[in-house]
């Protein structure tokens, strides 16, 4: 089984690539500049910039030249910005969408013809609780996850006649050994010193540190999904299971109360 993981330079993507390779799958990851970093990964790393169409095409063409097939695509490219609608600029939101939505679309569109030709395949995209609830101070990120959920659900039905499965993973914040902010998360530029945004970042860091969910656990779950005969459209994990039930059955007032609790926590 040939697996392509986009955005595998660190975080979940790196852990997942190592675990899947350890289980005997042929794993390829992508990052912007893998030159000189080959020894850092227990799987083959390819160059890809998801915001650049030519880079995406070159990467998929190189993988096809090496393997002749792609059985599983796992979209792990993910950027996050924190800031209110008032604070963030249109350009900042556009940049996030270019990676988290249009980047994912570029890769999917390049891989679909490959999977159609071989008669099967699986496309996995990483959503989150942010794809279930619009979180204040995270409108750019959560709206992108809402969009990813909608695109993936439509794609699920479009690909059924072609024996191509589409899966949406919905983990919560994972416990990772990394700084609160960095390449994975940025505070938008126009944030005053007294903004709630700074406190939201601290809240998120605390939630991640206290999380019982690890990248290894998410990777194990993804392995079980991609190797199973029946693949669900959505796979909620940890608190996302409860949020899914709330969204389905709870009155809107209760959901508003839940979101207000997030703001109070910040």
Question: What is the C-alpha separation between 21 and 97, in angstroms, rounded?
Answer: 30
| Nearest CA among 249, 254, 255, 248 for reference residue 234 | 248
Q: Is 211 a catalytic residue?
A: no
Closest Cα partner for 127 from 77, 169, 98? 169
- Which one from 14, 28, 145, 156 is the annotated catalytic residue? 145
Q: Which of 127, 139, 143, 219 is catalytic?
A: 127
Pick the closest to residue 114 from 63, 153, 50 (CA basis): 63
Catalytic (active site) residue 152: no
Residue for token pair 């270019």:
98
Q: Which residue in 28, 41, 141, 156 is the catalytic one?
A: 141
Q: Which are the contacts of 131, defined by CB distance < 8 A and separation ≥ 6?
A: 142, 145, 146, 148, 149, 168, 170
User: CA-to-CA distance for 187 and 192, rounded, in angstroms?
Assistant: 11
Distance, in Å, from the CA atom of 163 to the CA atom of 253, rounded to the nearest integer, reads 41
Is 9 a known active-site residue? yes
3-state SS, 207-244, equals HHHHCCCCHHHHHHHHHHHHCCCCCCCEEECCHHHHHH
> Which residues are tagged catalytic?
9, 127, 141, 145
């Amino acid at each position: 089984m040939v697996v392509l993981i986009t955005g595998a330079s660190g975080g979940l993507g790196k852990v997942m690539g190592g675990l899947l390779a350890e289980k005997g799958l042929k794993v390829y990851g992508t990052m912007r500049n893998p030159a000189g970093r080959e020894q850092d990964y227990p799987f083959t790393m390819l160059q890809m910039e998801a915001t650049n169409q030519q880079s995406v095409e070159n990467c998929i063409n190189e993988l096809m030249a090496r393997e002749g097939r792609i059985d599983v695509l796992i979209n792990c490219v993910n950027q996050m910005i924190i800031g209110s609608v008032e604070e963030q600029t249109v350009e900042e939101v556009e940049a996030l969408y270019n990676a988290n939505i249009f980047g994912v679309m570029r890769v999917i569109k390049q891989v679909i013809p490959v999977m159609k030709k071989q008669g099967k395949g699986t496309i996995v995209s990483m959503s989150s609780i942010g794809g279930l609830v619009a979180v204040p101070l995270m409108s750019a990120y959560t709206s992108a996850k809402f969009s990813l959920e909608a695109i993936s659900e439509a794609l699920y039905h479009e690909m059924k006649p072609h024996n191509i499965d589409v899966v949406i993973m919905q983990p919560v914040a994972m416990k990772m050994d990394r700084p609160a902010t960095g390449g994975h998360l940025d505070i938008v530029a126009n944030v005053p010193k007294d903004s709630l945004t700074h406190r939201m970042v601290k809240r998120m860091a605390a939630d991640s540190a206290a999380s019982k969910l690890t990248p290894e656990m998410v990777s194990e779950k993804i392995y079980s999904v991609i190797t199973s005969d029946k693949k669900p459209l959505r796979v909620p994990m940890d608190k996302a299971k409860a949020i899914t039930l709330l969204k389905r059955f709870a009155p809107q007032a209760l959901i508003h109360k839940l979101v207000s609790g997030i703001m109070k926590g910040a």
